[in-house]
Chains A and B, each alone.
Chain A
């Protein structure tokens, strides 16, 4: 059985991994919540979920409306896409 880290991300970036899907959905919720309230607590929750995703092997760029401003995105994420 494939591990989570090796589960293939299907065509067009839509995951076939329900764990990824749930966590990305959670990021969308938290990004929206942060836009509404802009609290450190929400930013920290967001960063924790994103770091967890990365530990699980997720390495896709997120949609822009699921991201926080750059200074709040964890370096574990931004460093995945530096040239």
Chain B
């Protein structure tokens, strides 16, 4: 058996002026995953830098997503984002990082790892969006919380609203993560 962990934190929000200079993912909240064989790297799925530029900036991109206009996303190395969320939580922010671990048979783990490496190395683009009313997505769309399931990684909740996802994750035994 080999382990894959889902790792997640709730964002500070885009309202709190104290965090207005933080990375957009810190303010939005984020979900990623860690492979047992690569424990120092946290991968995540979110809109590409090009999508942000083409939207005219982070605020404009958020406005598009609030209007349900899907955006190209890709798998990225988001390790620094999760470390920063942890640091902010230590200072009182609501960004405590949670982790829940799943055991997979090695063949399954290897297949997922190979899939992620291909998508990461090619920076393949897939559609990112905010969820529908029931927390699910249109076909071929997802967000950081639901994306891992599309590549075979078990996830703790089918609700793509990050706050609800993390609450369910905690109810299922997630523990606090630290770098």
Residues of A whose CB lies within 8 Å of any CB of B are 11-14, 24-25, 28-33, 35-36, 38, 61-70, 78, 80-81, 83
Contacts and interface: CB of A to CB of B under 8 A. Distances in A.
| B interface, size bucket | 35 or more
A32 B132 contact: yes
Interface of B: 10-17, 27-29, 62-63, 65-68, 89, 94-96, 130-135, 143, 160-164, 166-167, 170
Interface of B is mostly: loop
Contacts, number: 90
A13 B68 CA distance: 26
A69 B66 contact: yes
Given A14-B170, A70-B63, 10 more contacts: A12-B94, A14-B166, A25-B164, A61-B14, A62-B13, A63-B11, A65-B65, A65-B162, A66-B161, A69-B67
A25 B130 CA distance: 15
A81 B163 contact: no
Contacts of A62: 13, 15
A52 to B, nearest CB: 19
Contacts of B132: 32-33, 35-36
Residue of A35, A70, A81 with most partner-chain B CB within 10 A = A35
B31 to A, nearest CB: 12
Nearest to B13: A61
A64 B62 contact: yes
Given A13-B10, A36-B132, A64-B28, A83 B17 contact: yes
B15 A69 contact: no
B162 A35 contact: no
B130 A61 contact: no
